[in-house]
């Protein structure tokens, strides 16, 4: 019998579904609520556990994350199985990316501001997705779902992967991390769907931002560290880029007095594109977790095991 600590709040239907699984005893509580006896029994943790929590579980054998990102857990020893929720958030975040692409292209934030001022000024020229070239840097479950939808709306789509393989039919061309700079000046929209790794930190600095079209759109739903915040503020104040949509920031959470809040044409949401903000995200992630619970119990290979070197 495996003892599983579930650190995040689950829906009652999911709790009942998990409790029906043979071979497991589930504890639905925070680490601070557990007893010393329970901590000695816990061998599996599901959720977003803190490092000091995991370090106090002497018999820990498996950590199942409810996130796709896993870079904060690569310190775990190799004998502890680490799995993430890769693919669970693709559809929900893809809709966020489509919505914000259209939002910026149609000047909707500007019109909302004008409404507050009772201002009837029209912006006669707007871009369309149908005529756009869209580059997604990071072609995992999220990036692929975004490009699939953008392609359906008529966009010409391009992707960046660590290695080139299995080009989807909705993608015109694939590039690697060291070759995509040559096409940056051609792209109308660039979406960053990246985990945090040494290779992706500060990937978009001033030099790279200025390679983009002056009227291009930058979207970031991966990790805030992919963009040099000071460089982004500088180029936006200089009038470069039509807009930058940030669901993640560096630092995060963004301090209340940070200058990024008031940078022109920067649109910030508080890391809400993922998580359990939609039913689709919740049920897709729970499906991944349940599949791995069954596989571990039955001695089968798990899905979405994290590569410690890559960080995902």
| pLDDT confidence of residue 151 | 98
**Arithmetic mean of pLDDT over the chain:** 95
> Which residue of the set 258, 271, 295, 308 is catalytic?
271
How many angstroms separate the CA atoms of 180 and 160, rounded? 7
Instruction: Spell out the domains of the chain, with CATH numbers in brackets.
Output: 2-88+278-297 (3.40.50.720), 90-268 (3.40.50.720)
Kindly report the pTM of this predicted structure: 0.91
- Considering 95, 172, 234, 252, which one is annotated as catalytic? 252
**Whether 202 is catalytic:** no
CA 8 – CA 30 distance, rounded (Å): 8
| pLDDT for 68 | 86
Residue 252 is a catalytic residue: yes
Q: Which residue among 39, 149, 151, 223 is the active-site one?
A: 223
- Say what the pLDDT of residue 124 is: 76
Tokens read off for 197: 């790794």
Active site residue 223: yes
Q: Give the pLDDT band (50/70/90) at residue 158.
A: very high
Alpha helices (H) in 140-219, listed in sequence order: 141-152, 206-211
pLDDT digits (tens, 9 = 90+) for 10-63: 999 999 999 999 999 999 999 999 999 999 999 999 999 999 999 999 999 999
The angle formed by the CA atoms of residues 236, 239 and 245, to the nearest 5 degrees, is: 40
266-289: average pLDDT: 93
Please report which confidence band the pLDDT of residue 291 belongs to, taking 50, 70 and 90 as the band edges: very high
Residues 82-108 have pLDDT tens digits of 999 988 999 999 999 999 999 999 999
Task: Quote the strand ranges of 140-195, DSSP E.
Answer: 156-161, 173-176, 189-192
- Cα–Cα distance measured from residue 305 to residue 217, given in angstroms and rounded to the nearest whole number: 33
């Amino acid at each position: 019998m495996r003892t599983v600590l579930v650190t995040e709040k689950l829906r009652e239907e999911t709790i009942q579904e998990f409790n029906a699984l043979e071979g497991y005893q589930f504890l639905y509580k925070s680490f601070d609520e557990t007893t010393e006896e329970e901590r000695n029994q816990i061998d599996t943790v599901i959720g977003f556990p803190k490092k000091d929590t995991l370090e106090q579980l002497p018999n820990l054998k498996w950590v199942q994350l409810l996130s796709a990102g896993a870079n904060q857990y690569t310190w775990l020893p190799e004998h502890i199985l680490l799995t993430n929720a890769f693919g669970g958030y693709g559809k929900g975040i893809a809709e966020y990316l489509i919505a914000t692409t259209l939002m910026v292209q149609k000047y909707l934030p500007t019109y909302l501001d004008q409404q507050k001022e009772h201002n009837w000024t029209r912006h006669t020229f707007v871009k369309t997705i149908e005529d756009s070239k869209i580059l997604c840097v990071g072609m995992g479950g999220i990036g692929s779902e975004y490009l699939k939808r953008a392609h359906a709306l008529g966009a010409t789509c391009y992707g960046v992967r660590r290695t080139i393989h299995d080009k989807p039919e909705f993608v015109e061309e694939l590039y690697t991390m060291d070759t995509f700079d040559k096409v940056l000046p051609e792209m109308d929209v660039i979406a960053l769907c990246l985990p945090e790794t040494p290779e992706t930190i500060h990937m978009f600095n001033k030099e790279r931002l200025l390679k983009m079209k002056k009227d291009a759109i930058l979207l970031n739903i991966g990790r805030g560290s992919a963009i040099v915040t000071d460089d982004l503020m500088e180029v936006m104040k200089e009038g470069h880029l039509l807009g930058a949509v940030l669901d993640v920031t560096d630092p995060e959470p963004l301090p209340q007095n940070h200058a990024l809040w008031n940078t022109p044409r920067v649109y910030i949401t508080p890391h809400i594109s993922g998580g359990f903000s939609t039913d689709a995200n919740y049920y897709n992630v729970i499906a991944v977790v349940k599949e791995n619970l069954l596989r571990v119990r039955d001695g089968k290979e798990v899905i979405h095991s994290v590569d410690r070197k890559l960080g995902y």
